[in-house]
Amino acid sequence: MDEIILSASILSADFAHLADEIRQAEAAGVDWLHIDVMDGHFVPNITMGPFIVETCRRVSTLPLDVHLMIEKPERYIEAFIHAGANYVSVHVEGNPNIHRTLQTIRSLGAKAGIVLNPGTPTCAISALIPAVDFILVMTVNPGYSGQTFLPETLSKISEIKALLERYQSSALIQVDGGINPTTLPLAYQAGARVFVAATAIFKHPQGVQEGVKSLREAIK
């Protein structure tokens, strides 16, 4: 079994106690913190900006994994990296200058990720493989936590794994949306190694520690 990376999405955290929620996730052994940035245009929801990344940076030493679901993400790359983002992912959809944006992310010292929505085919990213450190396959339509994993995205994860082998790329495959102890092993088997989870961690009925434990145990 390969090691997995768990990225805890703070979208389902209690923002009245954000620092405490983050500390609990860190103590439970998550590897990264995932921060979902939404602008109300690229996706219907509106969430957080660089100031939340800066807040996370102050309370945690974990790598900060920032997923930009915004129009014209190139306008904000510097602000998010300056605030403390270590991993920055941008969508292939609606971004004509995506290659340049990925180059900018790397030039500013962060890891660059490309994201595909469930309706976007693998071929949309093949020209970008040398420019990325990770590929985020959305396993729900982006915008909200608490949605159900779309099983039809599994074949895309496998296709991307084959694409990476063809390019001899060591980029990681990340999945996000509806990840829980049932769906995590399916995505793992298809080739994913980085798992984003919000509900399964921050809304676990027995608390954050149990949530993280049940995800880790799911592939043992």
Ligand X SMILES: O=C(CO)[C@@H](O)[C@H](O)COP(=O)(O)O
Nearer to ligand X, 130 or 151 (CB): 151
Q: Which residues bind ligand X (CB under 6 A)?
A: 9, 11-12, 34, 36, 67, 140, 142-147, 176-179, 196-200
Q: Is 36 a catalytic residue?
A: yes
The first and second tokens of residue 74, run together, are: 């190139």
Nearer to ligand X, 60 or 199 (CB): 199
Q: What is the per-residue DSSP string for 68-79?
A: EESSSGGGTHHH
Question: Both ends of the chain: CA-CA distance in Å?
Answer: 8
Q: Is 65 a catalytic residue?
A: no
**Is 144 a known ligand-binding residue?**
yes
**Rounded to the nearest whole angstrom, what is the least distance from the CB of residue 107 to ligand X in the complex?**
25
State the catalytic residue, choosing from 31, 65, 133, 176. 176
**Is 178 a known ligand-binding residue?**
yes
**Rounded to the nearest whole angstrom, what is the least distance from the CB of residue 13 to ligand X in the complex?**
10
Please check whether residue 198 is in contact with residue 216, taking contact to mean a CB–CB distance below 8 angstroms. Answer: no
Report how far residue 168's alpha carbon sits from residue 162's, in angstroms, rounded to the nearest whole number: 10
State the catalytic residue, choosing from 14, 31, 36, 133. 36
Phi–psi pair at 192, nearest 5 degrees: -75, 145
